[in-house]
Amino acid sequence: MNKIFSELCYACRVGDKENVDRLASTGVNLNAVDEFDNSPLFLASLCGHEEVVKLLLERGAVCDRDRYEGARCIYGALTDSIRDILLQYDISKAVDLNQPFVMHLSSLLKESAYQTHDICITSLGSKQNNRLRLHKFILNTRSPGFAGQVDFFNGGKHCIEIPSSVSPTVLEIVTKFIYLVPVLHEIDARDMNCLIDLSALWGMSELKEFLERVRHVIDPSEKSTMMVEYQHRITERAREQLCCFVNDNILRNAVDVGPNLSLRSQELISMFNSSAFPDLIVVVENSMGLKRFYPCHLAILSRSNYFKIMFDLPLAECFAYKQFKAYRNIPSPTEIPTVSFPPCEFEVAELLLRYLYYDASEIPWQYAMDVLLIADHLLEDRVKSMAAVVITQSKDILEEYSIFQILYLGWETRMERLEHYAAKIVANDIQRYAKDPELKKAIMLSSTRISIRQETDSIEFVDDMRYYLLQKYAFEADDVEFLGEEDDEDLLKASGFSDYMKDNSTIEALLGKLNLQA
């Protein structure tokens, strides 16, 4: 650890704002950690130096609660006011590598077991003549001006040579930018003019704006702050671009066919000729037997664990990828690979596609149950969690579904959140639900789910209801034991203990009727 950073850590620990200001101005890395894994921001927040915390954040220190160090800062803060300041600066939704779709998009620049690229680009200035293996749909989406400079549409060239005036270094930086690899810190002042010209030519306005601003900034900490700001803007802009791409090129080019019918050969060819630049077709069949065909991309579907496993297996031959290689022209209908989603409504499939392409997280409550089920099939745990949150927070869901449908779905998809939610709803209105035969069925089903039998079996659903009964009346287990020995009826009524015992007796009565012990 260098001397300047050691001094900075000490100044943050003791609250020496003047020294922190001086040392930060030297360009020292404000987000480094000492031998005890403590960052300057963590030390200042832990020791309660609010002004130092503000100064560090203004100078580019990062507080990101999705990372270990950021979480330590927030939860280790000495005062609530410091914690509030840190939360205001929290960039957990802005740091690119914490965004799953960004991580996936960046990973596409690496070679994979199955080739997903359909275009290669090389700079004539490269001595090694290295090729960048890229994707037409990403280039067209993220760099709208690029398509106007080179003809790769409608069976055009699949290998593009960039003039030697664009150095391999500049081309690599631009490519990383397009694929959302954090690259702003790699830019050399000598490449600035060429990068500005190229970003203007290829329609990358955020990169151009950043370069024009940062070239006049000398203070390293100010540069760091600017990079954080622009990385967030770049990510959000990419999300908007991919949203438009899905709307304009995938959903708009989808084709519906009736029950027991298939897509005509010419329609398939037309779909592959579209501006979506697809390399596979996703087929979805809804409850009416109608089918919808979506032009999609192996590069994006491979983000789903379900499809990734499928593509990694020898079954890849089924998708015609041995015949349909990169750089080929439009394949014949027999070569066009297709994959199927589990049967569901088209709206549900489109919510999943939007998530895979750009992390769309808005799930209308009307579709949340179906989204959860399909996401479980596709092994998408993050989508399952988002759908479960919508279900448990919706005020309207119980008008459409019974609490027992939600419980059973929770069991089927292994979402404990739904199990607890159902137990809480039932416990809070146990007198009404006790009259519903479905409650007895739910308790019996829960009893069959016991994995380890003991002298007195534990039934999870019943245990959860008892727990939420305690919460309903704001009791602890010790309170129940204490009040159970009390004879003062007025006290028992006033404390709510009488009502608690009535509800608890209702549960016991149900167990008695079912001949169950729990």
Report the candidate in 265, 319, 328 with the shortest Cα–Cα distance to residue 297: 319
Residue from 463, 393, 514 nearest 406 by CA: 393
Amino acid identity for residue 140 in this structure: N
Q: Examine the fold and report which residue of 56, 74, 91 is the final residue of a domain before the chain moves on.
A: 91
Whether 451 and 392 share a structural domain: no
Residue 323 lies in a domain: yes
- The three state secondary structure string of 57-84 is HHCCCCCCCCCHHHHHHHHHCCCHHHHH
Token pair of 406 as six digits:
């939600």
Domain tally for the chain? 4
Per residue in 178-232, pLDDT tens? 998 878 877 888 888 999 998 898 889 999 999 999 888 887 667 777 887 888 7
Instruction: Output the CA–CA distances (angstroms, integers) from residue 74 to 8, 42, 180, 391, in the order listed.
Output: 20, 8, 27, 29
- pTM score > 0.75 for this model? no
Q: Which domain holds residue 105?
A: 100-234
Asked if 327 and 350 touch (Cβ cutoff 8 Å), the reply is no
464 sits in which H/E element: helix 460-472
Model confidence pLDDT, tens digit, residues 484-507: 666 667 776 777 778 888 888 888
CATH of residue 62's domain is 1.25.40.20
State residue 156's pLDDT score.
46
Burial (0-12, 13-18, 19+ Cβ within 10 Å), 278 = buried
Looking at the structure, tell me whether residues 490 and 413 fall in a common domain. yes
On whether residue 290 sits in a domain, the answer given is yes
User: What tokens appear for 507 in the block?
Assistant: 């549960």
Domain-ending residue, one of 398, 423, 452:
398
pLDDT tens readout for residues 365-395: 999 999 999 999 999 988 998 899 899 988 8
User: In CATH, what number is assigned to the domain containing residue 176?
Assistant: 3.30.710.10
Output the pLDDT for position 67.
58
Nearest to 241 by CA among 101, 80, 66: 101
CA distance 328 to 375: 33
451 vs 368 pLDDT, higher one: 368
Same domain, 344 and 319: yes
